[in-house]
Structure 1
């Protein structure tokens, strides 16, 4: 008999607590192989294809495309052993006889990693799976047991509904979950799609009224009598702290009472509604106001649009409301945090780029790798940062220290169909102009295809922003927190210029440097910018740093 494994959304790293389902890559009833991608999700950082560590038949999908799913929520259930091992892509030891993840006779149905066993356990089995991980995701070779949690009110089977075949003493069920269990509540709340028996115990079907729509049914206490402790991410803690919320007063909607960002957002919104009502004004629902660490006005987990003003109460016909979620919300949060925390200043200068363009033309001879203008400017920046290392630093506010960083991980702004992203060239200080050009081209192409990984989008130390591609001259860019500076590059345009004592038409660019005034004074920032401008005007100066 097959073993049903539940695969949950793994920890995607970088403090991310949820993701949005973009595209399902498998259908219910389809045979999947071990480590086959089953769903594409969008986080605040990137698009990620999530592979399933189990091979077998997909018996259920949880959530529709566009739905927001918290980390730890179920994605799919897979009947392991419902098809021959070779069809499921399973190697030796992953079939039903070897217990692909079932504990040998464990009464609580504990499972390893992010999967849970539903159905009969295999005798003498050890957990086996791909072993691959994203962050905290995958299956281990050793069996692991979860703590048993005593179900809370309403967590048991519904009255008059027989226990499905394969259900064990603590309420674990066969394919799918019994009515009233936490897994069933999550399935109902997320609109799970499932099928019946595939050579296994049948799934118990029910309506959404049978379980709490918040997916928290059964989030009771641990058997030792202590309360289940909510695991709160640093983002949630900071968001609550900056908005004056006591997390002990909140009830989490995540698994086992986990407090999610949406719980804090809803609490902030409800408090403001109460304050507005107390002042004699109409409740301001769904205003979409940006807070210190997130966006209020979200109508709970999974909300797609905010509630607009009532007709006749100032509503504008044809107005469009765009949720600040996903990458858009993450960018808004980062911009706001940068302006809130960093005392920035900007200086700028115009430079004659005629000689730099001539040097680039000489480099791009037929048959040689092409060198981009951005790569040349990137190389100039790494040379400038070697002279002025204060600008390749960050501020540790907790320790009250300026941290100067030994390596230059150079970010550059790239516009894509999904919005602005900042890919990072690792160890830019150690690359040649050709190497920088090739890596910038690769990252740009990957960004436009939506395939950048989290590692390619994080941990930059300095950023280049080439807004000249939009046909503008200058800007006061917002620093990419927690970095300390950003160099803006305007368009290169023909302008009258005094060259060697005579008026001439030259190709001129405006450069602007926005910097964190905590890490340096204006003299350092001005020296950096002047060195960059000198190298633009006289590229031969770079020979000193090669």
Structure 2
């Protein structure tokens, strides 16, 4: 029985996704919940599990194509109602039919789950370079499996095994025109890194293990005077969100330059404190905590303008967004209920957020529901800016670079560690007085951490 799998609704109001990679080919036998593809939404790269057990009949969309929700992407030959199973491509005996029930997995659809428990996750079969049919579906016959005999010093890779890499690395490989199958990974357990790709682009012969020339796509890119990239996925969403925010919410930005030497001294002392021995407490961690404390005293900065309902929504919790620059573009995942966390918990949450953003595993759920955001432009050596509000939020705080600057200190001029804070807010929700008091509270905590005792 032929079953057509259509692109599911992945939630968060997303209507389209790009096929990043296929891990199956026509003729492959797949199991329930097996990872068959990576799809990139405007917010995250999502692993797509198979909703059926059976044999892959057709791949309706090639990699790199943007597909709308509800469009067919893959067909399966599955067991019919009488229990007959499809014949695998290798001619082996079909597996016995198993009753199926539905269980939600991704938002919008749920694959069937075998009774008696969730099946174990299997290794990803296939390769990103596996043959894919054109947009107009045609019958494709599975290619024969070829075993390559390599020298003893070279590990043997089976035809069904794909190079180990993360979705952002695979995307960079496509941009550079580098074939992942020719790259030797230097990361943990042979993981291919971005540096491996750049090395392969500069010295393709060494990366491939044979004498050759630069890939055609890479050569064309280096000689072209200009290049064009389709506007899609994260960049498209970011652009739309920034335009909406900039031309809907009346932005006001205020600046405050402060001496944060006491906070930097505090961070140094925490390194030798046994309670924080395993924690990386950074200036961003302290600013995040200061923002949560200041919000309790100035709640108007933690609100939302609901135009449709004609209401101002006051959040009695803090989902703290942290702007993150990733290979896919700007993301603003948020730390849920940050107001209830201490420094250690915030440090751990920030580390998890950063790790997920760099690995390209940030989930759509972590990107929604933010109430206020922080952006750390100081890591790029920038002192101050006018950040644009994350849509649906009333405020965003930008941290500048910390610099040793001549500063008045106890009646004299001394070199002190100085930081500039930039606060943008929606003037419909936050008056100048309220925004100024909030910014002053954050600055007071950073200039003299002991002042927290007078605020809580």
**TM-score with structure 1 setting the length:** 0.60
Instruction: Specify the SS of the correspondent of 2:400.
Output: strand
SS in 2 for 1:456: helix
Q: What is the distance in 2 between the residues matched to 1:455 and 1:364? A: 33
Q: Deviations over 1:37-77 (max 9, x none)?
A: 11101111111111111112111111111001111111211
In structure 2, how many angstroms separate the alpha carbons of the residues matched to 1:441 and 1:544?
29
- 8 Å contact from structure 1 (residues 54, 130) kept in 2: no
1:474 pairs with one of 367, 370, 384:
384
1:537 corresponds, among 447, 453, 456, to 447
Q: Give the secondary-structure state (helix, strand or coil) at the position aligned to 1:132.
A: coil
Equivalences for 1:405-444 in 2 at 5 Å? 405-444=315-354
Once the two structures are TM-superposed, the CA of residue 31 in structure 1 deviates from its matched residue by 1.6
2:235 aligned with 1:331, yes or no? no
Q: Which runs of structure 2 are paired with 1:102-501 in the superposition (5 Å)?
A: 128-139=100-111, 190-192=135-137, 194-195=139-140, 318-365=225-272, 367-501=277-411
Q: Kindly state the Cα deviation for residue 132 of structure 1 after the two structures are TM-superposed.
A: 3.0
Residue of structure 2 in register with 1:14 after alignment = 12
Q: Which moved more, 1:400-409 or 1:469-478?
A: 400-409
**More displaced 10-residue stretch of structure 1: 383-392 or 56-65:** 56-65
- Tell me, in whole angstroms, the C-alpha distance in 2 between the residues paired with 1:352 and 1:459: 33
Corresponding position of 2:427 = 517
Per-residue deviation, 1:368: 3.5
Partner of 2:164: none
Show structure 1 runs of 4+ deviating over 3 A.
191-197, 543-546
CA displacement at 1:416 relative to structure 2 = 1.2
Which residue does 2:2 correspond to in 1?
4
- By percentage of residues, which structure has more helix? 2
For 2:297 and 2:341, how far apart are their aligned partners in 1?
A: 17
Higher relative contact order (CA 8 A, sep 6+): 2
| Contact 2:57–2:75 (Cα < 8 Å) also in 1 | yes
Cα distance in structure 2, aligned partners of 1:394 and 1:518:
10
CA distance in 1, matches of 2:299, 2:360: 33
Output the CA distance in 1 between the equivalents of 2:394 and 2:237. Answer: 19
Whole-angstrom distance in 1 between the partners of 2:305 and 2:10: 26
Aligned length: 345
Looking at structure 2, the residues matched to 426 and 474 of structure 1 have their Cα atoms a distance apart, in angstroms, of 27
Q: Quick check: 2:56–2:75 contact (8 Å CA) kept in 1?
A: yes
> Structure 1: any 5+ residue segments left out of the alignment?
101-127, 142-186, 198-316
For 1:218, the equivalent position in structure 2 comes to none
Deviation at 1:346, TM superposition (A): 0.6
1:30–1:412 Cα change, 3 Å: same
Contact 1:11 1:136 in 2 (8 A): yes
* 2:53 aligns with one of 55, 59, 65: 55
- TM-score, normalized by length of structure 2? 0.72
Contact 1:28/1:193 (8 A) holds in 2: no
- Does 2:424 correspond to 1:508? no
Cα distance in 2 between the residues matched to 1:473 and 1:523: 24
Does the C-alpha gap of structure 1 residues 193 and 41 become closer, same or farther in structure 2, counting only changes over 3 Å? farther
Equivalent in the alignment of 2:24: 26
Matched, 1:526 2:436: yes
For the residues of structure 2 that align with 1:443 and 1:393, how far apart are their CA atoms?
23
Shift in CA distance, 193/465, structure 1 to aligned 2, threshold 3 Å: farther
Of structures 1 and 2, the larger Rg is shown by 1
CA distance, structure 2, for counterparts of residue 137 and residue 489 of structure 1: 41
Return the alpha-carbon distance in structure 1 between the equivalents of residues 102 and 140 of structure 2. 25
1:373 deviation in Å?
1.6
